Amino acid sequence: MDVTFHETQSFYVSSPLQGEKTLEMDELSFLSLPCQSSQDAQELRNETIRIHNKDEEEDKFFGQKYERRKQPTSTLEQEKLSNPEVRIPEDNIDEVSITDDLPIALRKERRSCAKYPISQHVCTNNLSDKHRSFIAAIDTTKIPTSIQEAMKLEHWTQAMKEEMNALERNSTWEIVDKPRDKKAVGCRWLFTVKHKADGTIERYKARLVAKGYTQTYGIDYEETFAPVAKMNTVRVILALAAHFRWDLHKLDVKNVFLHGDLEEEVYMDIPPGFEVKNERNKVCLLKKALYGLKQSPRAWFGRFTKAMISLGYRQSQGDHTLFIKHSSTQVNSTYCLSMWMT
């Protein structure tokens, strides 16, 4: 079917409801537009010129780099230049930073700590004798920040030996030759002091921590997720224990992360201070988790879950850290990470 279209003729058949046929130009010819005076035309032309000049001025600054203007010389500096014999203390004049002339993006920020008025009135007169002795003991005890400082004192050396003996008894690692295609994770010592309630020193504690930030994903660690405690579950357990008069027991696992079994092959450097002189290419092949490793929380929770399931407990689906065991006489529930048993 061939269809022909014309510019001046409508394709559809005309209807009496459409009115008469008229062109658009004919309708516009009957519109009465106001005449524009010569004065209005001149003002419009001047406004167009001003806008054009303003755009040209803005284009001049496009792409330029902002630089800080030089500050005017102060009155004190002018007086000092005019009278060189006058000596002004250097402490009263603020030192002008060299970076003030640099762009804002390259200028370094000046950080300052605010001192509050309460810092002028802190005292220990209203504290108890035990509290004052405790604070005094903390202030007088110096904690080493490096292995070199710790090796100079006998009690810190003994603390490191006790930690190493505990790790060896736990079979944490095995001394092997370092493979050529493997990278060993570093480690360091952390020191702290345990105090009694009266402020006296209970014991000196040294902990070996692996440098987990040097691990590489896919090589010496994979998954790191481990569920954490939910306070809503804790509140429900406490409410049930109070309502039904259940016995509530709280346990603590010493060095909890050291009991997790590692699935990945992780090599660690010999702990500082315990290197063997004749054996330079030796490293520790970790069998169990160590503080600082990325997978340590997951390794511990995996072993704890297996132990609880083997004892007949059922892991809750609403909170994976909650384990429940039903019996004919009582209901036992264990909450992981804080080890609460009811």
**What residue ranges do the domains of the chain occupy?**
129-341
Q: Left if phi > 0, otherwise alpha if psi is -120 to 50, otherwise beta: which for 112?
A: beta
Determine the Cα–Cα distance for residues 102 and 275; give it in Å rounded to an integer: 50
Asked if 237 and 335 touch (Cβ cutoff 8 Å), the reply is: yes
φ/ψ of 170, rounded to 5, equals: -80, 0
Distances from the Cα of 98 to the Cα of 25, 54, 299, angstroms: 72, 36, 53
Determine the Cα–Cα distance for residues 178 and 282; give it in Å rounded to an integer: 6
Render pLDDT for 227-268 as a digit per residue (tens, 0 to 9).
Answer: 888 889 889 888 988 998 888 888 888 788 888 889 899 999
**How long, in residues, is the chain?**
342
The long-range contacts involving 231-238, CB below 8 angstroms and separated by at least 24 positions, are 233/318, 233/319, 233/321, 233/322, 233/335, 234/335, 234/338, 234/340, 237/333, 237/335, 237/340, 237/342
Is the pTM for the entire model greater than 0.85?
Answer: no
Could you say which residues of the chain have pLDDT below 50? 15-33, 86-89, 91-96
Q: Is 303 exposed, middle or buried (0-12, 13-18, 19+ CB in 10 A)?
A: middle
Position 295 scores a pLDDT of 92
Q: What are the percentages of helix, strand and coil residues in the chain, rounded to 5?
A: 35, 15, 50
